[in-house]
């Protein structure tokens, strides 16, 4: 994409003031040359063009005055007076035009774009382009910064970018106020930059996210593209041309609620592994089975209804406009904020209620009214805005669906630890007993906090010591990586969750399994285990000590002596 030259545009915008300046100087210099003068001997004389330009320069700019190379005549002094006034007026006109140009929004936007493009071009480390800095985008960028992932943000709303400029992030995040749906904007943001690793489309409009996905896949097919979508039609469209991942928040949440109904311990596994490390463990979610009341039958209500019915859970729908939303025939008409409506839905016999409208005030009203009618209800509510966090927290709900957090959590897994996403997909096919046993193994590792999750790939770049040992014919087990490099007899507080090998995937692999080059491993445990494991992955001496209990001989001579028989 051709860059816009700021200097050229400035000169083009100021061409008239510059012409006025040039003409005024030319007339002043020419007039001073033509004015008759007298030298020190009283002989007629005229200034040269150089002397005339010199005198006009310091006179018109008001930096000084002097009659050089000899005293002026009256005619010369009169011309200097005229030139002074004319030059000052020309300068004032030019400076005013320059200030007006810099104050124009379009010109200031051009400067910001060029400055932004220069910062992106100088990037020398991997980064992601995040399109949209609303509730979801801000959560994603904050989480990426905590995980030491660089981001470049594009948003059409300047107020959101103002919030980003004041955000206290651990990494610098360049941002641009522009329409991310335009290809030139994505190119300016580094779409074809050699260090660009992916594009994350998080705007509130499905159509814009679709444009971003298409542009990214066509202009740079090698990068990862992750999008959010509210409609299933948009999701199918995105997936049709190779979008790597599409997150439909309502489906994600409804799936979680259904999973908690069917396998509450599996839901705990998901929550523990996807939350930030070293946080208090979330309480076990155990929603009751029985009839549920769903208030609101929009996209969110439809998703919850579909997933609950898949689990064999009966539902009663409450909807204000059943014709518009295509609700079932037995739908109870109303908002659900009124006691009469909830009674008509037999809320007193229900085990749970989902307040799923697109209005936070209505959802809270539904919850308060339902709790009065049936204090034993399992309470679930949809929160549409992060600004209402305090109110929803005070409401004492069993589960809150906050769309931005749902999307951010899923996208963070895809960006930071893609192998975790594959593990969770395979784990869904396991039983609740399997999940309970896994929780029992994970809980003591992090001391009652959420575990850290990290991936290891046996490659020269990610694990050079292990890769070199395998290439030399040495045997390295998974359990070797879980030994403490400070004292090999002690075990690191970690657990191997998954082994991915060419044509093979194993959940909870045995620690005695022999590693091969190219293996991908997923671990969970205390954060200190991750840090200490790095020593074995990167340092061949540490890995040798873990395997043999002694420090390896260093240097060519010592290694030769170590090989000699006693």
Instruction: Answer whether 124-247 and 288-397 agree in fold.
Output: yes
Contact 225, 217 (CB under 8 A): yes
Q: Which residues of the chain have pLDDT under 50?
A: 1-2, 558, 561-562, 566
Distances (CA, A) of 415 to 98, 182, 251: 46, 24, 20
Task: Give domain 1-103's CATH number out of 1.10.287.70, 3.30.1330.10, 2.40.160.10, 3.40.1710.10.
Answer: 1.10.287.70
Tokens of residue 146, six digits: 């905590």
- Which tens digits make up the pLDDT trace of 508-566? 999 999 999 999 999 999 999 999 999 999 998 889 888 877 766 655 554 554 455 54
Task: In whole angstroms, give the CA distance from residue 110 to residue 287.
Answer: 54
CB 552 within 8 A of CB 540: yes
Write down the pLDDT at residue 560. Answer: 54
DSSP string across 380-417:
EEEE--GGGHHHHHHTT-SEEEEHHHHHHHHHHHHHH-
pLDDT of residue 551: 67
Measure the CA–CA gap between 32 and 78, rounded to whole angstroms. 10
Q: For residues 496 and 509, is the Cβ–Cβ distance under 8 A?
A: yes
Q: What backbone torsions phi and psi does residue 298 show, to the nearest 5 degrees?
A: -80, -155
Pick the CATH number of 288-397 from 3.40.390.10, 3.40.710.10, 3.40.50.720, 1.10.10.10: 3.40.50.720
> Would you list the DSSP string of 508-540?
S--TTPBP-TT-EEEEEE-HHHHHHHHHHHH-H
Radius of gyration of the chain (CA): 35
Spell out the residues 6+ positions from residue 27 whose beta carbon is closer than 8 angstroms to its own. 83, 86
pLDDT of residue 559: 52
C-alpha to C-alpha distances, 53 to 26, 44, 63, 281, 452, nearest whole angstrom: 9, 20, 14, 80, 74
**CATH code for the structural domain at 124-247:** 3.40.50.720
Q: Which two tokens stand for residue 13?
A: 């915008």
Fold entry, domain 451-559? Alpha-Beta Plaits (3.30.70)
Per-domain boundaries in the chain: 1-103, 124-247, 288-397, 451-559
The CA distance from 65 to 81, in Å, is 11
Instruction: Provide the whole-model pTM.
Output: 0.79
Confidence at residue 39, expressed as pLDDT on a 0 to 100 scale: 83
């Amino acid at each position: 994409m051709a860059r816009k030259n700021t200097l050229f545009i400035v000169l083009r915008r100021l061409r008239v003031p510059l012409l006025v300046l040039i003409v005024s100087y030319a007339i002043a210099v020419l007039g001073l040359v033509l004015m008759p003068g007298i030298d020190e001997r009283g002989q007629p004389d005229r200034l040269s063009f150089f002397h005339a330009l010199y005198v006009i320069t310091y006179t018109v700019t008001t930096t000084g005055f002097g009659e050089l190379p000899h005293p002026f005549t009256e005619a010369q002094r009169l011309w200097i007076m005229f030139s002074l006034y004319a030059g000052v007026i020309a300068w004032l006109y030019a400076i005013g035009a320059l200030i007006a140009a810099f104050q124009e929004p379009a010109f200031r936007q051009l400067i910001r774009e060029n400055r932004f493009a220069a910062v992106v071009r100088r990037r020398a480390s991997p980064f992601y382009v995040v399109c949209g800095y609303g509730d979801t985008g801000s959560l994603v960028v904050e989480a990426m910064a905590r995980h030491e992932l660089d981001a470049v943000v594009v948003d059409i709303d300047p107020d959101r970018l103002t919030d980003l400029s004041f955000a206290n992030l651990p990494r610098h995040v360049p941002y641009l106020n522009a329409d991310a749906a335009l290809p030139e904007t994505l190119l300016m943001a580094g779409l074809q930059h050699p260090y660009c690793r992916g594009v994350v489309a998080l705007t509130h409009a499905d159509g814009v996210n679709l444009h971003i996905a298409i542009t990214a896949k066509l202009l740079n097919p090698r990068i990862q593209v992750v999008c959010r979508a509210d409609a299933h039609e948009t999701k199918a469209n995105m997936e049709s041309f190779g979008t790597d991942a599409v997150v439909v928040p309502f489906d994600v949440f409804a799936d979680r609620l259904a999973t908690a109904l069917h396998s509450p311990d599996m839901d705990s596994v998901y929550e523990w592994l996807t939350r930030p490390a070293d946080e208090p463990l979330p309480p076990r979610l155990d929603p009751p089975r029985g009839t549920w009341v769903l208030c609101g039958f929009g996209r969110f209500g439809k998703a919850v209804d579909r997933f609950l019915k898949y689990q064999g859970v009966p539902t009663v729908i409450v909807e204000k406009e059943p014709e518009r939303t295509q609700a079932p025939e037995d739908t109870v008409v109303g908002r659900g904020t009124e006691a009469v409506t909830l009674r008509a839905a037999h809320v007193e016999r229900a085990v749970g209620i989902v307040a799923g409208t697109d209005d936070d005030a209505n959802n809270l009203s539904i919850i308060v009214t339902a709790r009065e009618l049936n204090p034993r209800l399992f309470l679930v509510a949809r929160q549409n805005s992060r600004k209402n966090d305090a109110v929803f927290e005070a409401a004492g709900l069993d589960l809150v669906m906050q769309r931005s957090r749902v999307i951010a959590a899923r996208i963070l897994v895809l960006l930071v630890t893609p192998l975790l996403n594959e593990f969770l997909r395979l784990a869904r096919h396991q039983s609740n007993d399997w999940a309970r046993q896994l929780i029992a193994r994970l809980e003591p590792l992090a001391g009652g906090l959420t575990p850290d999750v990290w991936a290891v790939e046996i490659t020269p770049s990610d694990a050079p010591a292990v890769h070199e040992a395998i290439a030399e014919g040495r045997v390295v087990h998974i359990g070797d990586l879980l030994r403490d490099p400070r004292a090999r007899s002690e075990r690191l507080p970690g657990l191997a969750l998954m082994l991915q090998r060419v044509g093979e995937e194993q959940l909870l692999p045995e620690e005695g399994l022999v590693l091969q080059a190219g293996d991908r491993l997923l671990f969970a445990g205390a954060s200190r285990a991750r840090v200490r494991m790095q020593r074995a992955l990167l340092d061949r001496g540490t890995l040798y000590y873990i395997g043999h209990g002694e420090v390896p001989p260093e240097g060519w001579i010592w290694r030769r002596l170590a090989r000699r028989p006693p």
